[in-house]
Amino acid sequence: MKLWNELEALKIAREKAALCIVVQTKGSTPRKVGAKMIVKADASILGSIGGGNLEKKVIENALQQIKKKEAKLFRHDLLQQHNMCCGGTVEIYIEPIKAMNKLYLFGAGHTANALARVARNLDFDIFVIDDRAEYINSFELAGVNKMNMAYNDVLETLPFDENTYILIMTYEHAYDREILAYCINKPHAYIGMIGSERKVQLTKKMFIEGKISSNEELEKVDMPMGIDINAEGPEEIAISIMAKLIQVKNG
């Protein structure tokens, strides 16, 4: 149980690491099926899969897979490969630990509320941001980070990386465009803005004429946001947006 708690802590902290699990053994081996070890990016470990030259090699393999961001099964002949007298064979599955995805919801309206209810069950660390205290206070969902701040003030405090999902849906088109202008060139997995087709075309025109971003960069923004399923009402719109995020996350 302690190792699983460590895993969750690493995900939340977004530390790079890999989980190594003994999945098959034959003959005499130092540990049996189910033994686990976490290898961090600095080569430190939690747990053990047997020690000695085997463990040294597994740490090397884990660091390699962390860089590749790929899971892989490794087979070890303890006598031939590692000069270990126990002489059996071990198969070890190594899987990099995926950092928890950050979801920035700019705007705390009805659709954002519906989105947060769905997203909290899908491995997202949710941040709801709005300058209206009454709307932020209406979010009573456990596990949602609420930020009652002016949009201009909050943007520079937020970290962005390849696991960041940005959803722009404030109550003012001007705010939406300011947030988009700030975020469009930040690292992210997804960025989208809610709105009508007219709003989207006007935004593109303003950004290109103002030299805020290129047409190529704008084409990477999901706007209008979500998958077109003829959604009506906050709940259905939230599902259409969430479906798009899942598509990106699992793609």
For residue 51, what are the contacts with CB-CB under 8 A and spacing of at least 6?
30
State the amino acid at position 103 in one-letter form: L
Tell me: the pLDDT tens digits for 92-124? 999 998 878 899 999 999 999 999 988 988 878
Rounded to whole angstroms, the Cα distance separating 49 from 36 reads 6
How much is the pTM?
A: 0.76
Query: Which residues sit opposite 141 in a β-bridge?
Result: none
Q: What is the side-by-side strand order in the sheet with 124-130?
A: 144-148, 124-130, 101-106, 164-168, 190-193
Domains of the chain, with CATH numbers? 2-96 (no CATH), 101-250 (3.40.50.720)
Tell me: the pLDDT tens digits for 37-74? 999 999 999 999 888 888 999 999 999 999 998 999 99
pLDDT means over runs of 10, the chain (251 residues): 80 86 90 92 91 90 92 88 77 89 94 90 90 89 88 92 94 95 95 92 93 91 91 89 93 79
CA dihedral 23, 29, 32, 36 (to 10 degrees): -70
Tokens standing for residue 94: 């190594």
